[in-house]
A = this chain, B = another copy of it.
Amino acid sequence: MLCRLIPHRSAPSGVLSAVRGLVSLSSTRVCAPSAATRSPSVCRTKTMPPRPHIHPQVRASSNLAKQKVHISSCATALTVSFSDGLTSKFDSIWLRDHCRCPECFHQVTKQRLVDTFHIPADIQISAAVLNQSGDSVELTFAGSTHKTVFQLEWLKTHSYNPTLETASHNLKRNYKLWGAEITKNLPVVEFDEVMAGDEGLAKWLKNIDVYGIAFVKGVPPNCEATEQLGRRISFIRETHYGAFWDFTADNAHADTAYTGLALQAHTDSTYFTDPIGLQLFHMTEFTGKGGKSLYVDGFKAAAQLQETYPEYYELLTQVCIPAHSAGDPKTIIAPSPRSFPILNIDPITEDLYQVRFNNDDRSVIDGKTLIRINSKTGAKVDVKEFYAALKCWVSILRDQENEVWIQLEPGFAVIVDNWRVLHGRSAFTGHRRICGSYHGYDDYRSRVRDLCYGSSGRLDI
């Protein structure tokens, strides 16, 4: 490593030192691009002419008391030693591409304006200047007077070589898992509060975010009020069943949901590429018998499966299950790709993010599906092992300690996060009128980020 390191020792406590160093590096291109960055012939069309060698300048400003911030730069990389002693390196092309100035990044739309593909692969840093308080660095690149400023904290959060652990890396949703005991203390808010302003809405959203299920009491028992309630979160996600729904068990659609049959715990629309995010459900009229509502925390069930039968948990994260909705005439809905696991794992964070389970809508399991994806231990799945895992999962879902049975009534609406919480019902007879709406997961999360997560909800954009 030929890049010079310019240490900035901390000033005496309470005093800003005003040392301003200006150092020329003795050689250029000391960090040679790897073989991988060769310009392929097909990509040459817009290659810039060769640039003259650059001697980057590194200027050291003062730094804050008790902090030890160092920067060093060679022509194609900046190295920062942060105040806690951790060091990370940033490539020049990455730095230029991530410039967040108004010329390079639209301040309102938050969209990139700089044309990434006009940045030379080996763009040269001509100067790197640490500011007086030691919390930001200003970069200039060869052949341009354009200046790019980065907060060091931002660089640390987005470091990659190596990746330094920061608070934002550990930002996780604060799930509270629950079972039958939740009936003693249901997460409930008042309809009037939700309708009155963002504070009440945030309370409701927070419940959905934490529990995956939330109740609203005092809802006028009619469609209009229920629809207004749903629209506090987002527009309604229309499906082939319609937008806002209001139905009795009249078999209006060819789906068992529209009958009086019992329904085992399931998530809705496993047949969509993007299953619906929230289901708002309000029973506005009921004069019959039965029809208790069932809820199960799928994330808790998954955690129990992982704890007791990790091999089955793994199987259900790896075997993709096809599903369909093909009851209504002219409708043959299936997801793309054709099948998804029951337990869906974020490939980056490795967190479970979505449960997708409806045994009734499952299509044929065959040689095309009895395969483990992302497996390091061989692809083939024994069909008996698949059924054993499925049975184990369902035995946990049907464990009485996990089942929450509630007799809903007019005025008491429920909303579930359909990527986490399974729902079902006991059979019923008589007149039962239901209304409600679906909402997209992305739109729901957008609302939660905006209202419940403060500045961290703005995401790393």
Contact = CB atoms under 8 A, between A and B. Distances in A.
Interface of A: 33-34, 36-40, 42-46, 91, 93-94, 97-98, 106, 108-113, 115-117, 121, 157-164, 169, 234-238, 240, 243, 254-256, 264, 271-274, 304, 308-309, 311-312, 320, 322, 324, 326-327, 330-339, 346-349, 353-354, 359-371, 373-374, 376, 382-385, 387-388, 390-392, 394-396, 398-399, 419, 441-443, 445-447, 449-450, 457-461
B33 A384 contact: yes
Contacts of A93: 383-384, 387
Given A337-B353, A339-B348, A366-B460, 9 more contacts: A34-B382, A98-B364, A111-B361, A116-B359, A117-B398, A235-B238, A235-B240, A336-B419, A337-B349
Query: How many copies of this chain does the complex contain?
Result: 2
A332 B457 contact: yes
A84 B150 CA distance: 69
A333 B274 contact: no
Interface centre among A43, A271, A361, A387, by most B CB within 10 Å? A43
A165 B113 CA distance: 50
Contact of A106 (B157, B162, B256): B256
Contact of A399 (B45, B332, B353, B384): B45
A76 B368 CA distance: 22
A385 B332 CA distance: 42
22 contacts: A33-B384, A34-B382, A36-B384, A40-B312, A42-B395, A94-B365, A109-B256, A110-B326, A111-B256, A117-B391, A117-B395, A235-B238, A235-B243, A238-B238, A240-B443, A240-B446, A331-B446, A332-B457, A332-B459, A334-B442, A337-B349, A363-B459
A348 B359 contact: no
A330 B355 CA distance: 28
Nearest to A105: B360
A361 to B, nearest CB: 6
